[in-house]
Every structure is written in C-alpha cells, then in structure tokens.
Amino acid sequence: MPITGEQLLSVLDAGDLADEAEALGLTVQEYADRLAQELPAAADAATPHGELPDDAEVQRRLHAHDQHQQ
C-alpha cells in the first residue's frame, strides 16, 4: 500500500523538507505528496526482488532511477 504525503510528514520534520520544497516552488505538503508518489518506485529500484544490495549498489541504482525520471 502506498504511503501518503501526510504520513511522510508525520515521521519527517517539515523543516527538513522546506528548503527542497521552496527550491521547486512547492509547499511542504505538495513536496511531501510528490515524495510519497515517487517513494515506491525508488524503493523498487533500490531493492529489486526484495533484496537489499550493498551501499554502493543502492546508490548506483538510485542514481540510475533519478536519471530515468528526468
């Protein structure tokens, strides 16, 4: 089940998200909503088949996912 922006804000400090939100021209809530939408795909990219690879491989996969999103 996907997470919501409100759920993310319940565990993350809104202040930590404020700078990124502002840089994108979004409110903190809008930014949290976007993160919530992208989180499942990022988790899938980082942990294929439900297995957590080593740190270097996670970073490589997340970078490849980010490049694909642009």
pTM above 0.75, yes or no: no
> What residues have CB less than 8 Å from 27, skipping those under 6 apart?
21
In the chain, domain spans: 5-69
Query: What digits encode the pLDDT tens for the residues 9-50?
Result: 999 988 889 999 999 999 999 999 999 999 888 888 777 777
Q: What is the per-residue pLDDT for 52? A: 77
pLDDT band for 70, please (50, 70, 90 cuts).
Answer: low
pLDDT band at 69 (very low <50, low <70, confident <90, very high): low
- Per-state percent for the chain, helix, strand, coil, to nearest 5: 75, 0, 25
What is the identity of the amino acid at 64? A
Predicted local confidence at residue 41, as pLDDT: 85
